[in-house]
Amino acid sequence: MKRFAAALAAVLMLTACTQVEENIPVMAETSAVTEDTDASVDVTTAVSSEIVSEEITSETELETSEAVSESETTAAEEVQTEAPAAAENSAEETSAAETTTTEAVYEDAQAESTGTVTGIELTFYDVTLSQGEHKMPIVTMSPESAPDKSEIWTSSDESIAKVDGLGNITAVGEGTCVVTVASAASPNVTAKVNVTVKAAPGLTYIGGILIANKTYALPADYNPGVDPEAQAAFDDMQAAATKEGLNIYVSSGFRSYEYQSGLYDRYVQRSGKAEADRYSARPGHSEHQTGLAFDMNTIDISFADTDEYVWVKAHCWEYGFIIRYPEDGEDVTGYMYEPWHIRYLGKETAKKVYDSGLTLEEYLGIDSKYSE
């Protein structure tokens, strides 16, 4: 097959025009024909070229892609009956559309022979995000037949935007940078996304981490709901705990400004303001309003004595969480010990904070105190 395709390509190249347009649909169709009729591939390649030229001669008003698309159906149907001599016909008739097709056949044969990726397409090449937002382009590597379509993602400035191995871009800090995806098999084949990150009004990011504590408040209208990435991370952690025979679940996740306002008022009535401030955040200051915090199981100090807590304390960083208000941390976090409250930071940051043995405030060098 490869030998034949190369020979065909050589013949076609003799008459091929040097002006070549990129035409992805044609490439895709040609490739599909070749793959679909695996058993009689030698015939197929020739037939598809011949049919394309017939279509173009008889129905010149058709757009290239339509002609090729129609011819693909015909080719697939007629593969068993057409003779392979057709390749010569094709070489005799030259038109712009045909040139594109023959060139596509040639490129496909060439790519197949080396097994490399020759092009990368993305669903977007420019994006503007607010801090904390994520967006992931869909990647199409060509040719379809390339055996290794692994992606390598990099950011020109991780303080502006980070990107993970799947191409999920996270806006970190204000500015612009370039996120690049390269083919692992052909590292010189790349596509780039120009990323602009704008400040999220009223939100405080420190080191790319959204902060909500007694010093830094969230706007009353900040209402993101539970963060999908944090929820997925919790689900993973929960599944792992289940395998250990442990039962962890969310008792309280995202809380809106209004909800927190009602909650805090109730606690103030019950305990008085000074005491309520030790365990309940004032509206706008609750980490639950970020959508990145969860309370687990029994919201009570007795949770610290459970096997579930022992496991979570040892493993939550593996899923991107930290125990946010540890024992003896009240002076720096502003809150008494809350073994049940975890905060999502992402795996990389959570590991760093866990390894440091510090609270998030100490890790970032910030404080947590109401101004009044």
Fill in the per-residue mask, 237 to 276: x = in contact with Zn ion (CB under 5 A), - = not in contact: ----------------------------------------
| Contact in structure between 86 and 44 (CB atoms under 8 Å) | no
**Residue 178: φ, ψ to 5°:** -120, 125
For the bound state, the minimum distance from the C-beta of residue 336 to Zn ion, rounded and expressed in Å, comes to 12
Residue selected from 341, 353, 360, 361 as contacting Zn ion according to rule CB under 5 A: 341
Task: List, in order, residues 6 or more apart from 323 with CB less than 8 Å away.
Answer: 312, 313, 316, 339, 341, 342
- Scanning 60-68, 125-133, 162-170, 288-296 for contacts with Zn ion by CB under 5 A, the matching segment is 288-296
For the bound state, the minimum distance from the C-beta of residue 258 to Zn ion, rounded and expressed in Å, comes to 17
Spatial CA neighbour of 294 closest among 215, 351, 226: 226
- 196 or 252: whose CB is closer to Zn ion? 252
- 62 or 299: whose CB is closer to Zn ion? 299
- Scanning 181-189, 259-267, 336-344, 356-364 for contacts with Zn ion by CB under 5 A, the matching segment is 336-344
Give the Cα separation of 362 and 207 in Å (integer): 13
- Scanning 52-60, 156-164, 241-249, 291-299 for contacts with Zn ion by CB under 5 A, the matching segment is 291-299
Q: Is 113 helix (H, G, I), strand (E, B) or coil?
A: helix
CA angle 279, 251, 351 (to 5 degrees): 75
For the bound state, the minimum distance from the C-beta of residue 236 to Zn ion, rounded and expressed in Å, comes to 20
Give the Cα separation of 369 and 333 in Å (integer): 8
- 325 or 354: whose CB is closer to Zn ion? 325
Residues in 106-165 that interact with Zn ion by CB under 5 A: none
Is 50 considered catalytic here? no
Spatial CA neighbour of 173 closest among 188, 162, 184: 162
For the bound state, the minimum distance from the C-beta of residue 152 to Zn ion, rounded and expressed in Å, comes to 38
The gap between the terminal CA atoms of the chain, to the nearest Å, is: 79
Q: 147: cis peptide before it, omega within 30°?
A: no
- 162 or 285: whose CB is closer to Zn ion? 285
- Scanning 140-148, 162-170, 183-191, 337-345 for contacts with Zn ion by CB under 5 A, the matching segment is 337-345
Residues that bind Zn ion (rule: CB under 5 A) add up to a total of 2
Question: What are 149's two structure tokens?
Answer: 């379509």
- 205 or 325: whose CB is closer to Zn ion? 325
Give the max Cα distance, the chain.
Answer: 93
Task: List, in order, residues 6 or more apart from 215 with CB less than 8 Å away.
Answer: 366, 367, 368, 369, 370, 371
- 162 or 288: whose CB is closer to Zn ion? 288
Tell the residue number behind the tokens 């960083």, with chain if given: 317
Spatial CA neighbour of 191 closest among 253, 249, 123: 123
Q: Is 295 in the site for Zn ion (CB under 5 A)?
A: yes
For the bound state, the minimum distance from the C-beta of residue 329 to Zn ion, rounded and expressed in Å, comes to 14
305: left (phi over 0), alpha (psi -120 to 50) or beta: alpha
For the bound state, the minimum distance from the C-beta of residue 324 to Zn ion, rounded and expressed in Å, comes to 8
**Residue of 338, 348, 361, 372 with catalytic role:** 338
- Scanning 42-50, 217-225, 335-343, 349-357 for contacts with Zn ion by CB under 5 A, the matching segment is 335-343
**Residues classed as catalytic:** 338
Contact residues: Zn ion, CB under 5 A: 295, 341
